[in-house]
Chain A
Amino acid sequence: MTQSVVILGSGQAGVSVARELRKLNTDIELTIISTDDGGFYAKPTLSNALAAGKAPTQLLLSSADKLAEQLKARILAHTTVTAIDTQAKQIHTSIGPISYSALVLANGAQPIRLPLTGSGAADVLSVNNLDDYAIFRNTLQPGMHVAILGAGLIGCEFANDLRIAEHPVSVFDLAPQPLGRLLPPQAASFFAEKLNTAGVQFHFGTSITNVDSTAEGYALTTTDGQQFKADLVLSAIGLKPATELAAAAGLKTHRGIVVDRHLQTSVADVYALGDCAEVEGLVLPYILPIMNAARALAKTLAGDVTAVSYPAMPVVVKTPACPTVVSPPAIGAGGSWQEEVIEGGVRALYKAADGSLLGCALLGEASKERQSIAAQLPAVL
Chain B
Amino acid sequence: MAEREFKLWRCLICSYVYDEALGDPEHGLPPGTRWEDVPRSWICPDCDVGKDEFEMVEI
One of A16, A19, A52, A70 near B14 (C-beta < 8 A): A52
Quick one: CB contact mask for B1-27 with A, threshold 8 Å, 1 for yes? 000000000111111000000000000
A19-B55, A288-B53, A291-B53 known; A316 vs B15 contact (CB < 8 Å):
no
Does A323 reach chain B (CB closer than 8 Å)? yes
Give every chain A residue within 8 A of B14 (Cβ-Cβ): 42, 44-45, 48, 52, 318
Q: How far is the CB of B53 from chain A (nearest CB, A)?
A: 6
Range of interface residues on A (Cβ < 8 Å): 20 to 34
Give every chain A residue within 8 A of B36 (Cβ-Cβ): none
Specify which of B15, B41, B53 lies most central, judged by the most chain A CB atoms within 10 Å of its CB. Answer: B15
Range of interface residues on B (Cβ < 8 Å): 10 to 19
Q: Which residue of B lies closest to A69 (CB)?
A: B58
In the bound complex, how far is the Cα of B58 from the Cα of A70, in angstroms?
Answer: 8
Does B48 reach chain A (CB closer than 8 Å)? yes
In the bound complex, how far is the Cα of B52 from the Cα of A12, in angstroms?
Answer: 14
Does B49 reach chain A (CB closer than 8 Å)? yes
Q: Which residue of B lies closest to A292 (CB)?
A: B52
Q: How far is the CB of B59 from chain A (nearest CB, A)?
A: 8
Interface residues of A in 248-297 (CB under 8 A from B): 287-288, 291
A45-B14, A287-B13 known; A371 vs B41 contact (CB < 8 Å):
yes
Whether B41 lies near A44 (C-beta < 8 A) is no
Does A135 reach chain B (CB closer than 8 Å)? no
Whether B53 lies near A45 (C-beta < 8 A) is no
A70-B58, A316-B47, A318-B47 known; A45 vs B52 contact (CB < 8 Å):
no
Whether A288 lies near B48 (C-beta < 8 A) is no
Does B50 reach chain A (CB closer than 8 Å)? yes
Q: How far is the CB of B50 from chain A (nearest CB, A)?
A: 7
Whether A316 lies near B55 (C-beta < 8 A) is no
Does A61 reach chain B (CB closer than 8 Å)? yes
Give every chain B residue within 8 A of A325 (Cβ-Cβ): 48
Whether A291 lies near B12 (C-beta < 8 A) is yes
In the bound complex, how far is the Cα of B8 from the Cα of A153, in angstroms?
Answer: 29
Whether A61 lies near B15 (C-beta < 8 A) is yes
Whether A42 lies near B48 (C-beta < 8 A) is no
In the bound complex, how far is the Cα of B53 from the Cα of A325, in angstroms?
Answer: 14
A70-B58, A291-B55 known; A45 vs B48 contact (CB < 8 Å):
no
In the bound complex, how far is the Cα of B11 from the Cα of A45, in angstroms?
Answer: 10
Give every chain A residue within 8 A of B48 (Cβ-Cβ): 316, 323, 325, 367, 370
In the bound complex, how far is the Cα of B14 from the Cα of A287, in angstroms?
Answer: 12
In the bound complex, how far is the Cα of B49 from the Cα of A367, in angstroms?
Answer: 11
In the bound complex, how far is the Cα of B55 from the Cα of A61, in angstroms?
Answer: 13
A316-B48, A318-B47 known; A287 vs B15 contact (CB < 8 Å):
no
Q: Which residue of B lies closest to A70 (CB)?
A: B58
Give every chain A residue within 8 A of B11 (Cβ-Cβ): 42
One of B10, B13, B55 near A44 (C-beta < 8 A): B13
Interface residues of A in 289-310 (CB under 8 A from B): 291
Q: How far is the CB of B19 from chain A (nearest CB, A)?
A: 15
Q: How far is the CB of B51 from chain A (nearest CB, A)?
A: 10
Q: Which residue of A lies closest to B11 (CB)?
A: A42
Q: How far is the CB of B27 from chain A (nearest CB, A)?
A: 13
Q: How far is the CB of A39 from chain B (nearest CB, A)?
A: 14
Q: How far is the CB of B8 from chain A (nearest CB, A)?
A: 12
One of B13, B40, B57 near A316 (C-beta < 8 A): B13
Give every chain B residue within 8 A of A291 (Cβ-Cβ): 12, 52-53, 55
A19-B55, A70-B58, A371-B41 known; A287 vs B50 contact (CB < 8 Å):
no
Q: A61-B57, A318-B13, A318-B14 are in contact. List 5 more A-B contacts (CB 8 A).
A: A42-B14, A45-B14, A52-B14, A70-B58, A291-B55
Binding site for A on B (CB under 8 A): 10-15, 40-41, 43, 47-50, 52-53, 55, 57-58
Name 27 A/B residue pairs within 8 A (Cβ), A-sorted.
A16-B55, A42-B10, A42-B13, A44-B12, A44-B13, A44-B14, A45-B14, A48-B14, A59-B15, A61-B10, A61-B57, A70-B58, A287-B12, A287-B13, A287-B53, A288-B52, A291-B52, A291-B53, A316-B47, A316-B48, A316-B49, A323-B48, A325-B48, A367-B48, A370-B43, A370-B48, A371-B41
